[in-house]
Chains A and B, each alone.
Chain A
Amino acid sequence: MIFRENGQYAATYAKDMRIFRLREDRVAVAVLLVVAFVVVPLVANDYWLSSIFTLFLIFSLAALGLNLLTGYCGQLSLGHAAFMAVGAYAAFNFAVRLETPVLFNFIGAGLVTAAAGFVFALPSLRIKGFYLAVTTLSAQFFIEWLFVSFSWFSAGSMMGAIDTPPMRILGWAVETPRDKYLLTLGVVTVLALLAKNLTRGEIGRSWMAIRDLDVAAEIMGVRLFPYKLLAFAVSSFYAGVAGALYAFCYLGSVEVTAFELALSFRLLGMVIIGGLGTIMGSFLGAGFIVLLPIFISITVAAFATRGLTDFLSNLELIVFGGLIIFFLIVEPYGLARLWHTTKEKLRLWPFPY
Chain B
Amino acid sequence: MVDEFWFAMEVLISGLLQGFMYSLVAIGFVLIIKSSGVFNFAQGSMCLFAALGFVSFWEAGLNFWVALGLALVMMIVLAVVIERVVLRPLVARPPLILFMATIGLAFLLEGLAQALWGTQPHGLELGIPDSPLEGLPVDISQFELFAAAISLLLVLALVIFFHRTRVGRALRAVSDDHEAAMSVGISLQMMWGITWAIAGGVALVAGIMWGTRLGVQYSLTLIVLKALAVLILGGFNSITGAVVAGLIIGGSEKLVEVYLNIIFGIGGVESFFAYALAMFVLLFRPYGLFGDEIIDRV
Chain A residues with a Cβ under 8 A of chain B: 70, 76, 123, 126-131, 133-135, 137-138, 141-142, 144-145, 148-149, 213-216, 219, 261, 265, 268-269, 272, 276, 310-311, 314-325, 328-329, 332
Q: B residues within 8 A CB of A261?
A: 225
Interface core residue of A138, A214, A320, A323 (most chain B CB under 10 Å): A138
A216 to nearest B CB, angstroms? 5
Asked if B231 and A138 make an inter-chain contact with CB atoms under 8 angstroms apart, the answer reads no
B111 touches A321 (CB 8 A): yes
Whether A324 pairs with B99 at a CB distance below 8 angstroms is no
Complex alpha-carbon distance, A188 and B166, angstroms: 58
Number of inter-chain CB pairs below 8 Å? 145
Q: A134 near B296 (CB under 8 angstroms)?
A: no
Of B229, B268, B286, B297, chain A has the most CB atoms within 10 Å of the CB of B286
Query: Whole-angstrom distance between the alpha carbons of A208 and B115 in the complex?
Result: 42
B162 beta carbon closer than 8 Å to chain A: no
Complex-state Cα separation, A141 to B287, whole angstroms = 22
Could you name 15 residue pairs across A and B whose Cβ atoms are closer than 8 Å?
A76-B99, A128-B294, A130-B99, A134-B232, A134-B278, A144-B271, A145-B272, A269-B100, A314-B115, A317-B110, A318-B115, A321-B105, A328-B97, A329-B89, A329-B101
Could you tell me how many residues of chain B have their Cβ less than 8 Å away from some Cβ of chain A? 51
The answer to whether A324 and B101 touch across the interface, beta carbons within 8 angstroms, is yes
Contact A142 B298 (CB under 8 A): no
Q: A137-B225, A272-B97, A324-B101 are in contact. List 13 more A-B contacts (CB 8 A).
A: A70-B96, A126-B283, A134-B278, A138-B275, A216-B298, A276-B96, A317-B114, A318-B111, A318-B115, A321-B106, A321-B110, A322-B104, A329-B89
**Residues on the A chain within 8 Å of B298, using CB:** 213, 215-216, 219
Q: How far is the CA of A123 from the CA of B283 in the complex (A)?
A: 6
Instruction: Mark B residues whose CB is within 8 Å of A.
Output: 39, 85-86, 89-90, 93, 95-97, 99-101, 103-112, 114-115, 118-119, 225, 228-229, 231-232, 236, 266-269, 271-272, 275-276, 278-279, 282-283, 286-288, 294, 296-298
B119 touches A310 (CB 8 A): yes
* B297, chain A: closest CB distance, angstroms: 8
Q: What B residues does A131 contact at CB under 8 A?
A: 232, 236, 282, 286-288
B39 vs chain A, min Cβ distance (A): 5
Q: Give Cα A142 to B269, complex, Å.
A: 8
> Which residue of the partner chain B has the closest CB to A216?
B298
- With A123-B283, A213-B298, A317-B107 as contacts: A332 and B97 at CB distance below 8 Å: yes
A316 to B99, CA, bound (A): 21
Q: Closest approach, in angstroms, between the C-beta of B235 and any C-beta of chain A?
A: 9
Query: Is the beta-carbon distance between B103 and A128 smaller than 8 angstroms?
Result: no
